[in-house]
Amino acid sequence: MFNIFSNVLGMDVGIDLGSSNTVAYVKDKGIVFSEPSAVAGRRRPRGEGYEIIAVGEAAKAMSGKVPHGIEAVWPLEGGVIANFDMTQELLKYCLKRVSSNSTFMMHPKVVISIPAEVTEVERKAVIDATLGAGASEAYVVEEPISAALGVGLPIDKPSGCMVIDIGGGTSEVSVISLGGVVVTSSLRTAGKMMDNAIIAMVRQRYALLIGETTAEEVKNTIGSALPLEPEMEMNVKGRDLSDGLPKSDTVSSVEVREAMEPIFKSIEDMVKVALEKMPPELAKDVVDRGIILTGGVAMMRGLSERLSRAVNTPVIAAEQPLNSVALGLGKILDNLGTMRKVLQRTSR
């Protein structure tokens, strides 16, 4: 009976809870929510939680611009919860948005993605935050499995599928066979670390202080993993560290690439470690099928080609790298009965 009402109300929800972006998929509707994982709020007196001012795009726009007493934060770091209260508010906002068209308010079933290499404490924190946000049931699924489903890989077959997922907080590579993760390797080094590297480079070379939002814009506009033809430039504005006055300078794609080079090297090494651990028969399948690259950083110029050269195996960027995990969660929701083996469940 529950399943009948759940289908009518469209309240089975899949959430890709990322360090940079949160994407929600509602069964029979598709992706209905995609916003930055940012929350702005003010602490209530005597430690009674937060008064939330803005979530998502509005909170990101406040980053670095808030007055005293207001915090604009990214409550997830390295793919896991760093601020429990703010994460719960982010999930409440997400569930409220996806249920706004429903005639009746109803606690939904939620499937939420988590990195493969998390501790039990980190896993439980995600479940508790999801239930606290209003879910009646919370299922967690490892991100590599969901990403592989989202790009259409046959994860239930006795053959190897390899996925590299580079998001805002984590870089993760996994080999999947027979519905489970056989080999995985991860780094808490990804898109946000690239932003920090750009901030440090601009500070050192130009004595110019820029914020995270500006650094992300530089990364997305002129960032690359391989030399460009021609190279690009971008005007960057910030605060002069010598006198504190506003200042602008021109930054080149060469400088940005050099700043991110150690991170690219770390990701290459991570993939090589996973390949070295892989059973030979699965390695053959991966070479034949290629490696799928997904996550927000997958859109960076030259990254798939660079990784392909580093591991001597085809690396193919997903068609919708930002939404791969959410699309995979949608497939799990559509086949919840047969997909339960890849889920861990907790109810109220």
* Of 179, 187, 141, 186, the residue nearest 160 (C-alpha): 179
**CA distances for 197 relative to 194, 210, 259, angstroms:** 5, 12, 6
pLDDT of residue 237: 95
Contact status, residue 158 vs residue 138, Cβ threshold 8 Å: no
Contact status, residue 228 vs residue 270, Cβ threshold 8 Å: no
- Pairing status of strand 137-142 against strand 109-114: parallel
* Of 192, 195, 92, the residue nearest 134 (C-alpha): 92
Question: Stretch 161-170: mean pLDDT, rounded?
Answer: 92
- Pairing status of strand 171-177 against strand 161-166: antiparallel
pLDDT of residue 178: 87
Whether the predicted pLDDT of 103 surpasses 50: no
pLDDT of residue 11: 75
CB atoms within 10 A of CB 110: 28
Helices (H), 156-302: 191-206, 212-222, 253-277, 280-289
In whole numbers, what is the pLDDT of the chain averaged over residues? 88
- Which are the contacts of 296, defined by CB distance < 8 A and separation ≥ 6? 18, 20, 21, 166, 167, 168, 191, 321, 322
pLDDT > 70: what percent of the chain? Answer: 92
| 112: its two tokens | 């939420």
pLDDT classification of 334: cutoffs 50, 70, 90: confident
d(CA 77, CA 19): 6
Contact status, residue 246 vs residue 235, Cβ threshold 8 Å: no
| 171: its two tokens | 């870089």
d(CA 135, CA 124): 14
Whether the predicted pLDDT of 199 surpasses 50: yes
pLDDT of residue 314: 94
3-state secondary structure at position 135 = coil
pLDDT classification of 104: cutoffs 50, 70, 90: very low
pLDDT > 90: what percent of the chain? Answer: 62
Question: Stretch 65-77: mean pLDDT, rounded?
Answer: 87
pLDDT of residue 55: 92
Q: 98, exposed or middle or buried, with CB in 10 Å at 0-12, 13-18, 19+? A: buried
Which residues make beta-bridge pairs with 47? none
Question: Stretch 41-45: mean pLDDT, rounded?
Answer: 84
CA 323 to chain centre: 9
pTM of the model: 0.88
State the SS3 of 244-268. CCEEEEEEEHHHHHHHHHHHHHHHH
Whether the predicted pLDDT of 2 surpasses 50: no
Whether the predicted pLDDT of 304 surpasses 90: yes
Question: What strand order describes the sheet that includes 161-166?
Answer: 180-187, 171-177, 161-166, 291-294, 315-317
pLDDT of residue 106: 65
Helix (H) or strand (E) holding 181: strand 180-187
pLDDT classification of 191: cutoffs 50, 70, 90: very high
Residues in the chain: 348
pLDDT classification of 204: cutoffs 50, 70, 90: very high
Question: Stretch 136-151: mean pLDDT, rounded?
Answer: 91
> Residue 323: CA atoms inside 13 Å, Cβ hemisphere, count?
13
pLDDT of residue 69: 82
> Residue 218: CA atoms inside 13 Å, Cβ hemisphere, count?
33
Whether the predicted pLDDT of 326 surpasses 70: yes
Give the DSSP letter of residue 142.
E
For residue 174, report the phi and psi dihedrals to the nearest 5 degrees.
Answer: -140, 145
Helix (H) or strand (E) holding 44: none
Whether the predicted pLDDT of 293 surpasses 60: yes
In this structure, which amino acid lies at residue 242? S
pLDDT of residue 124: 92
Question: Stretch 74-88: mean pLDDT, rounded?
Answer: 90
pLDDT of residue 10: 44
